[in-house]
Amino acid sequence: MAEKDLLEKGAILQRDKETYAIAPHIPGGIVSADMLKKIADVAEKYDAQALKVTSSQRIAIVGLNEEDLDDVWSELEMQPGAAIGVCVRSVKFCPGTTFCKRGQQDSVALGLKLDEKYHGMELPGKMKMGVAGCMNSCSEPAVKDIGIMGTSKGYTLMLGGSAGLKPRIANTVATELSEEEVIQYVDRIIEFYKSQTSKKRLGQVIDNMGIEKFKEEVGL
Ligand code: SF4
């Protein structure tokens, strides 16, 4: 009986303690029909128990045997999503002005840039990002470590949100930002967070320092 996740294969041990789930990286959950067919074909070929759409906008292939994992990845020709480990786990973004009629900012363009730069980056603690194209907040920026919400006047930047055992609503630290300003601010926040020696998530770091001191340190 298997006992643990196989980090190097991006495989998470399932409840049966025998089979694994993998989740290819699909930025923003935007997937072509060909890619979707390939995922389905590979799942069928290797007798997966299920395909599961995840909260991180991935499609997990669930119930694979350990001996098939290398072949599955090689046939998929996709990279694993950073579903585990202390790193930037996910950058969740909504359709924004690319597809959504309510969109006020281009959350897809910004989300893709952040994903390309930060997805999987190792950090002291786990980090999630969310980008929404309007105040409806479909990608839940208020409960992400770094949340970015579009308004008619630009982006609002929110920090330190999380769900889980001790939910925390993010602090709003800046409003009416351009895409470029958001990226500059996120760079600074990540650099500051990298210098932390504990595994505390961003919200705990903010609570320990106080939001004003945090803003001063990061230059917000
Ligand atoms: S947050 Fe706004 S722009 Fe994004 S999907 Fe929801 S309604 Fe559309």
* Cα–ligand 1 centroid distance for 115 (angstroms): 18
pLDDT at residue 167 greater than cutoff 90 = yes
Residue ranges of alpha helices (H) inside 6-152 are 33-45, 69-76, 96-99, 107-118
Segments of the chain assigned to CATH 3.90.480.10: 7-76
Residue among 134, 137, 149, 156 whose CB has most ligand 1 atoms within 8 A, to mutate: 134
Write down the CATH number for the domain with range 7-76. 3.90.480.10
Segments of the chain assigned to CATH 3.30.413.10: 92-218
Over residues 1-38, the pLDDT tens digits come to 677 888 889 999 999 999 999 999 999 999 999 999 99
Write down the CATH number for the domain with range 92-218. 3.30.413.10
* Cα–ligand 1 centroid distance for 106 (angstroms): 10
Over residues 60-103, the pLDDT tens digits come to 999 999 999 999 999 999 999 887 778 999 999 999 999 999 99
What is the dihedral sign for C-alpha 132, 110, 121, 116?
Answer: positive
Predicted model pTM: 0.94
Closest atom of ligand 1 relative to the 103 alpha carbon:
3
* Cα–ligand 1 centroid distance for 203 (angstroms): 25
* Cα–ligand 1 centroid distance for 10 (angstroms): 30
Residue among 30, 92, 98, 107 whose CB has most ligand 1 atoms within 8 A, to mutate: 107
